[in-house]
Amino acid sequence: MVAVGFALTATAGTYVAGLTLLLRDVLQDVLGRRAAVWAVLAGAGLSALLASWSLALASAVAFVVSELADMGVYTPLRRRGWTLAVVVSGLAGAAIDSVLFLYLAGFPVWPSLPGQLIGKAWLTVVPALIVAAVLAWRRAGRVIAGDA
């Protein structure tokens, strides 16, 4: 268990799960949906290799379902802006991943869910907001310099 803030804890893989939701979105933008699907399948396989059978199964199922849900939300929202798409799809994927993993792994779902969601949100929302701020700062600099 790891601390996630607000006096909450979550399972050790929570931060990695939050980051993978964001990275899947970036991978889709850079290499396309097919590469993103292959990465999801590779991630599920990696889960199977690194954990006990019961945790690996819970992790793989939660990973595949949440990443595909993330893709299903991200793809149509992408046209409305990267930050919106990443944040909304990441939070949707995080909720699905958390509930499925906790349930399948035998953890108490409802007491554990707030920590899971906060931990995953840190690595989905914060990097997306940082990227958005940097892009806005760069655009503002071009406007000021007359390069717009």
Cβ 6 vs Cβ 118: under 8 Å: yes
Model pLDDT, residue 145: 59
Rounded to the nearest integer, the mean pLDDT of the chain is 87
Count the alpha carbons within 13 Å of 23 in the hemisphere toward its beta carbon.
Answer: 11
CA 8 to chain centre: 19
**For residue range 46-91, what is the model confidence (pLDDT) as tens digits?**
877 877 888 888 988 888 899 899 999 999 999 999 999 999 999 9
Distance CA 93, CA 96 (A): 5
- Which structural domain range is residue 125 located in? 2-145
pTM here? 0.80
In 3D space, the residue among 115, 113, 110, 119 whose CA is nearest the CA of residue 90 turns out to be 119
Total residue length of the chain = 148
Total domains present in the chain: 1
Residue 107, SS3 per DSSP: coil
> Does residue 34 surpass a pLDDT of 60?
yes
